[in-house]
């Protein structure tokens, strides 16, 4: 009965002699409960490439014993737990869905060696958990906690204890960088929370989670954080270059320029993150972490947009940042040998050099994290396979860790320096009073 496009449903089949039933490539979308109960000699059942989207355990009677069952090419929306609990398959169960071979779906009657499906759900998850390995789960909580606490420290320090620095371009950009990295920390906590919520039964909720509003919101926040952080690192680089190149402030970010740059960075990042939701792209639901990063050859709807933003655009921005870093150190070298260097207070020169060195560490960290991502993205575009393990570690650890590292590189050193000054001032006060 294969390739019969007029066949849309099956209600009752009564063929006591039937051993092979091929319903593949039909328009079949509905099966009556226990539809195969009156086929006692049935051995081979092929339902591949039909329109069935809802499977029920009632389709298969307890008496049914098959040698092969082919379910490839079926876009199943919902899966019952222990779907094949009443079914015995002696040779092979074929499916495009890894979930079919999970113990929670497959049941205990069918041998795991008889189930043939892709190796994993989305290179990140397992049958039981959203994050497949305990070490990934542990590291995700660590990075999320560090990102949230570190960037809250940045924001509070800049806004409450060091508000004067917000009048400068550097201080304003670093504060907004802290806000964007804080958003990444919140995203990581959302993913870690979902992993805990679906613990030991994730496969039953895989599709509902990836298509949920919460997952799309998490993907939006991750994209917003990545793009905003890239813009603000670029603005910080540009600001430091202008300070080094024009030490007397001939050219610099002024009040209105700083505000416009910050607002435009957030607006563009917001729009870039919103496009996949507005255009109904599937990139946020392509993996369990809701991250719109395409590094595999399995391309979801809208993967071209993901490559354009995450791979090509971010690589171009990084090249600009790297060129700016080179220009900063070149300007520093020129200032040391120029006549104007003697007109600049030594304390200010030392402070500018310290900030430039901190910036170089940030650029280096971005290079270590984004450059491999860009290379893997270009490899996948060229048809090369990126292993599921590499993809999983990239999404779980490599991308988000910048959000935890940036506060350490930017603000923590300034905090420690001011604390030392404060302690030194207290000691001077005590000595004077004595």
In this predicted model, what pLDDT tens digit does every residue of 305-326 receive, in sequence order? 888 888 888 888 888 888 887 8
Gap between the Cα atoms of 377 and 387, Å rounded: 12
Digit-coded pLDDT (tens) for 334-393 = 665 554 545 555 555 565 566 666 666 766 666 666 667 777 777 766 667 666 677 777
Contact 125, 206 (CB under 8 A): yes
For all residues of the chain together, what is the average pLDDT? 77
Contact 137, 396 (CB under 8 A): no
Residues 6+ apart with CB under 8 A from 418: 161, 162
Q: Which residue has the higher pLDDT, 102 or 194?
A: 194
Residue 252: exposed, middle, or buried by beta-carbon count in 10 A (0-12, 13-18, 19+)?
A: middle
Burial 151-163 (b: 16+ CB within 10 A, else e): bebbbebbeeebe
Tokens at 384, concatenated: 């090369």
Q: What is the pTM of this model?
A: 0.78
pLDDT at 429: 40
Number of neighbours of residue 429 by Cβ within 10 angstroms: 10
Gap between the Cα atoms of 194 and 121, Å rounded: 16
pLDDT at 430: 32
Q: CA triplet 144, 148, 153: central angle to 5 degrees?
A: 145
CA 249 to chain centre: 40
Gap between the Cα atoms of 375 and 381, Å rounded: 10
Gap between the Cα atoms of 349 and 351, Å rounded: 5
Gap between the Cα atoms of 197 and 129, Å rounded: 9
Give the residues across from 89 on adjacent strands: 66
Contact 182, 152 (CB under 8 A): yes
Least confident of 30-39, 177-186, 288-297, 385-394: 385-394
As a whole number, mean pLDDT of residues 408-432 equals: 55
pLDDT at 320: 86
pLDDT at 433: 35
Per-residue DSSP letters for 225-261?
HHHHHHHHHHHHHHHHHHHHH-TTSSS---HHHHHHH
Given phi > 0 = left and psi -120 to 50 = alpha, else beta, which region is 73? left
What's the pLDDT band for 71 if we cut at 50, 70, 90? confident
As a whole number, mean pLDDT of residues 274-281 equals: 91
What is the chain's percent helix, strand, coil content, to nearest 5?
60, 5, 35
Short-list 270, 288, 286, 276, CA closest to 396:
288
pLDDT at 427: 47
Number of neighbours of residue 407 by Cβ within 10 angstroms: 26
Contact 263, 271 (CB under 8 A): no
Digit-coded pLDDT (tens) for 199-213 = 888 888 888 898 899
Helix (H, G, I), strand (E, B) or coil at 345: coil
Angle between helices 134-156 and 412-433 in degrees, nearest 10: 50
Gap between the Cα atoms of 269 and 179, Å rounded: 13
């Amino acid at each position: 009965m294969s390739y019969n496009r007029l066949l849309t449903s099956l209600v009752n089949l009564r063929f006591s002699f039937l051993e092979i039933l091929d319903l593949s490539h039909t328009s079949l979308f509905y099966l009556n409960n226990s539809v195969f109960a009156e086929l006692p000699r049935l051995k081979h059942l092929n339902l591949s490439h039909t329109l069935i989207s809802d499977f029920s355990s009632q389709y298969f009677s307890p008496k049914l014993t098959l040698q092969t069952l082919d379910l490839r090419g079926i876009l199943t929306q919902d899966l019952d737990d222990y779907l094949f609990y009443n079914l015995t398959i002696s040779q092979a169960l074929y499916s495009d869905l890894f979930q079919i071979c999970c113990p929670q779906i497959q049941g205990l009657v069918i041998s795991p060696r008889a189930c043939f499906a892709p190796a994993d759900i989305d290179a990140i998850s397992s049958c039981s958990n959203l994050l497949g390995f305990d070490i990934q789960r542990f590291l995700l909580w660590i990075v999320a906690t560090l990102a949230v606490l570190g960037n809250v420290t940045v924001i509070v320090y800049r806004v409450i204890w060091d508000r004067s620095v917000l009048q400068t371009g550097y201080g304003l950009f670093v504060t907004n960088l802290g806000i964007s990295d804080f958003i990444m920390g919140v995203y990581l906590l959302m993913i870690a929370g979902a992993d805990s919520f679906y613990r030991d039964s994730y496969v039953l909720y895989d599709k509902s989670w990836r298509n949920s509003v919460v997952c799309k919101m998490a993907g939006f926040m991750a994209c917003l954080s990545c793009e905003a952080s890239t813009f603000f690192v670029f603005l910080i680089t540009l600001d430091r270059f202008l300070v080094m190149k024009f030490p007397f402030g001939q050219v610099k970010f002024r009040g209105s320029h700083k505000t416009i740059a910050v607002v435009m960075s957030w607006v563009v990042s917001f729009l870039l993150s919103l496009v996949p939701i507005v255009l109904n792209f599937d990139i946020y639901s392509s993996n369990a972490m809701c991250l719109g990063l395409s590094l595999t050859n399995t391309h979801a709807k809208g993967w071209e947009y993901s490559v354009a933003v995450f791979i090509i655009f971010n690589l171009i921005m990084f090249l600009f940042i790297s060129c700016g870093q080179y220009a900063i150190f070149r300007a520093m070298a020129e200032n040391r040998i120029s006549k104007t260097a003697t007109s600049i207070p030594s304390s200010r020169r030392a402070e500018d050099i310290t900030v430039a060195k901190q910036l170089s560490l940030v650029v280096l960290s971005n290079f270590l994290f984004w450059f491999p991502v860009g290379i893997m993205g270009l490899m996948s575009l060229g048809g090369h396979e990126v292993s599921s393990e590499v993809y999983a570690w990239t999404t779980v650890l490599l991308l988000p860790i910048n959000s935890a590292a940036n506060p350490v590189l930017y603000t923590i050193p300034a905090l420690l320096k001011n604390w030392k000054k404060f302690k030194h001032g207290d000691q001077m006060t005590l000595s004077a009073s004595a």
